Amino acid sequence: MKKSNAFALIPIGVFVVFYLSLGIVFEYVMKIEMGFYKVPVVVAFLLALLVAVIQTKGETLDKKFEIMGSGIGDKNIITMLIIFMLAGIFVGVVGRDSAESVAYFMLSVTPPRLAVVVLFVISCFVSTAMGTSLGTITLITPIAVAVSAGSGFSLPLCVGAVMGGAMFGDNLSFISDTTIAACNGQGCAMKDKFRTNFAIVVPAAIVTLILTFVLSLSSDIPESINKEYSLIQIVPYVLVLISGIIGINVFATLLIGIVSGSVIMLTTDAMSFHELLSGMGKGASGMFETSMVAILVAALCALIKHNGGFEALLSGIRRVFKGKKSGQLGIGLLVSLMDIATANNTVAIVMANPIAGEMAKDYGVSPRKTASLLDTFSCIVQGFLPYGAQMLVALSTVSTLGYKLTAFEAMANMFYPMILLISSLVFIFVIPEKKSKA
């Protein structure tokens, strides 16, 4: 183990200052729409990486590249990158119409009184199947606005339900980049992490459903929301969801979704062959930044670890958090702080993974529980960030449709992340972890 060196953590501080300060200036001073996402995260990490390279004393440049290469070449990083690409291709194949078909089908078969409850359930289903909270919010927010406009339900309540449901799936989905990052970073099977997460998120989701239904009782509903949908386009999502739940390998699960989606899109003339290939390309390209961030963070963390930064951080955590339960809370707080700094839950998990792995060994926390804590706490924080992509996209969509909604109005109606935090604390301090059969 390298000697403890707190100065080795400076590159992380450089990234935080560069990314966070510019994002705040762009978003709140210069009033640039989605200002945080005008700051290129890849450039910010390259700057941090340059600082780490300069800090690494006593090594030749070739040796520094060798250290970085050892981090990038880790099996978990390679696996993560391939899964990112396949997940992007799947979303590119099924397209927007399939997700909207899921939404409008569920709305058509339920009573109008349950419209907001259905919005939450739809968002849970679509985000779990698609593996993206951002994509779910983009797709379902216009439907939430339509529900609010055609009924007595408030706009903040409808949008809050969508955002809460989107974070549910982002945390639970087998093809979510956060799940992929957490599981591969901790070396646990996705089905094991799913089962652990299930015990945390389902009680929170049930309480959210009850609370949403109670609040819905005070509204007068004049009519239902009806729109055309295609049942056959729902099939790829259902197959992916079932395959993931029964424990089929994630690569096979994604291939099942890609093949079934391709066949359905071609046979129903929803896409031509060249449009299908174009969709695959766009879906894979959409994962470029996430993949590059994973590569740069792996290289950065390798240098920081080599220089003794992680040992310094672990030493500080050991002094503050005592015992297994306290250590689990420390893992949750670690990824939460990373998420506040980066406004990206996937990046936060990738950055926290190596440190969390060391903490898990110290405190005797299983890989599946560590992965679950990383994913859950990052999703809790990400859902509430007023400068997070999820919030910014929701507000931008509402504004584009001619309505007004503030971040704080939406946050006040996001019951799921609040309840999920309580459920997570109960999971840590009250419910004992079952021993793995392995």
**What is d(CA 125, CA 168) in angstroms, rounded to the nearest whole number?**
9
- Asked if residue 436 is part of any domain, the answer here is no
- Asked if residue 182 is part of any domain, the answer here is yes
Q: Say if CB 405 and CB 148 are below 8 A apart.
A: no
Residue 53 sits in which domain range?
A: 6-429
- Asked if residue 288 is part of any domain, the answer here is yes
Tens digit of pLDDT per residue, the chain (438 long)?
457 788 888 988 888 888 888 888 887 888 887 677 688 878 888 999 999 999 998 889 999 999 999 888 877 678 778 877 887 788 788 766 676 676 677 677 777 788 889 889 888 888 887 777 877 787 778 778 877 776 668 889 989 999 999 999 888 887 777 888 888 888 888 888 888 888 899 999 999 999 999 888 776 665 555 677 778 888 887 787 677 667 677 678 788 888 998 999 899 888 889 988 998 898 888 778 778 887 888 888 889 888 888 778 777 777 787 778 888 998 998 888 878 766 678 878 887 888 888 888 888 888 999 999 999 999 998 888 776 778 877 887 787 777 888 777 888 899 999 999 999 999 888 866 555 444
**What is d(CA 96, CA 137) in angstroms, rounded to the nearest whole number?**
12
- Asked if residue 438 is part of any domain, the answer here is no
pTM: 0.70
- Asked if residue 224 is part of any domain, the answer here is yes
- Asked if residue 1 is part of any domain, the answer here is no
Q: What is the pLDDT of residue 67?
A: 92
Compute CA 345 distance to the chain's CA centroid, rounded to the nearest angstrom. Answer: 5
Residue 404 tokens, joined: 């007004």
> How far from 144 is each of 2, 92, 184, CA to CA, in Å?
53, 23, 35
**What is d(CA 55, CA 61) in angstroms, rounded to the nearest whole number?**
12
What region does 110 belong to: left with phi over 0, alpha with psi -120 to 50, or beta? beta
- Asked if residue 437 is part of any domain, the answer here is no
Q: What is the pLDDT of residue 151?
A: 67
Contacts of residues 397-401 at CB distance under 8 Å and 24 or more positions apart, as own/partner, are 397/137, 397/138, 397/141, 397/142, 397/145, 398/141, 398/145, 398/155, 398/159, 401/142, 401/145
- Structural domain total, the chain: 1
- For the stretch 374-410, pLDDT in tens is 999 999 988 887 767 788 778 877 877 778 887 778 8
**What is d(CA 201, CA 197) in angstroms, rounded to the nearest whole number?**
6
- Asked if residue 121 is part of any domain, the answer here is yes
Q: What is the DSSP letter of 432?
A: P
Q: What is the pLDDT of residue 221?
A: 64
